[in-house]
């Protein structure tokens, strides 16, 4: 059954360099998907003085943050390797609950940062720029 209002801990980001083999990015503390639609202007003299637009190119980006643990299956070091090798990643963004929204597709890591403050856990953050079709399905 689809989730009603739910805890953000249940929202997962999975990635892999092989389609169908996605695994959770370890120890994430947050993840966000941003979808957008470019709206080219289509205003003419017939627009009556009002702006008109048409639907253009759709795009998306995923951002994430977490705590570094090199024993995770998908960890900060592996993500760094993907970025340096320009590896296309396949992703799933959603919960594991039946009936919930699930976004999937492919993209490239556009950034990865590892930060270490004195006497604090080492953290990582990054973003994936989606390329191609973004599929919206349910679990």
Domains of the chain (ranges; CATH) run 9-38+52-138 (2.30.110.20)
Task: Using alpha carbons, select from 118, 107, 119 the residue that is nearest to residue 79.
Answer: 107
At residue 124 the predicted structure's pLDDT band, cuts being 50, 70 and 90, is: very high
Taking 3-state DSSP, the helix, strand and coil percentages for the chain, each rounded to the nearest 5, stand at 10, 50, 40
User: pLDDT tens-digit profile of 36-56?
Assistant: 999 999 999 999 999 999 999
Q: Where are the alpha helices (DSSP H) in the chain?
A: 76-84
At residue 138 the predicted structure's pLDDT band, cuts being 50, 70 and 90, is: very high
CA angle 15, 19, 21 (to 5 degrees): 60
Residue 41 token pair: 């202007």
Region 18-39: mean pLDDT is: 95
Residue 1, pLDDT above cutoff 70: no
* Ramachandran angles phi, psi of 44, nearest 5°: -130, 180
**Percentage of the chain surpassing pLDDT 90?**
91
């Amino acid at each position: 059954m689809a989730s009603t209002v739910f805890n953000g801990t249940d929202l997962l980001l999975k990635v892999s360099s092989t389609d169908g083999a996605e695994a959770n990015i370890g120890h994430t503390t947050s993840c966000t998907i941003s979808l957008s639609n470019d709206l080219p202007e289509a205003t003419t003299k017939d627009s009556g003085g009002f702006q008109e637009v048409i639907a253009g190119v759709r795009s998306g980006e995923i951002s994430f943050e977490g705590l570094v643990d090199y024993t995770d299956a998908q960890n900060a070091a592996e993500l760094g390797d993907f970025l340096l090798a320009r590896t296309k990643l396949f992703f799933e963004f959603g919960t594991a609950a039946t009936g919930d929204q699930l976004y999937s597709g492919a993209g490239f890591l556009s950034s990865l940062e590892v930060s270490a403050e004195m006497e604090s856990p080492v953290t990582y953050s990054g973003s994936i720029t989606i390329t191609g079709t973004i599929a919206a399905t349910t679990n």
